[in-house]
Amino acid sequence: MRLEELQALVAQRGAALSGEESAYLEKWYRQCPGKEQWDVRAYAALSGVGAREYRVIRGSGGQDVYRSSDRERATVVRTALNEFESLEPPALSGVG
């Protein structure tokens, strides 16, 4: 993953990642391979009555690559991930 390019896409949309967010994204992105689109899901947060945490997850997977109490930030990261992956060149098949 070219993390710098992904960070640039997120920053262009007004939600620059902190160092901690970048490290979490880089760590877990590699653990979530696939072709399904990324999505934002809401979960009950550990603190605060009615508090929500928004997580960016691929398809029906369970591992998130980004977490935020701000749905808009999570949506920006989701959009950037989907765009980032659509721009990546297809893998070489070895045929030919």
Q: For the chain, count helices (H), then strands (E).
A: 3, 3
Residue 82 confidence (pLDDT) = 94
Q: Please state the length of the chain.
A: 96
Q: Which residues contact 9 (CB under 8 A, 6 or more apart)?
A: 80, 83, 84
The rounded distance, in Å, linking the Cα atoms of 95 and 54 is 42
pTM value surpassing 0.85: no
The residue ranking higher by pLDDT, 1 or 19, is 19
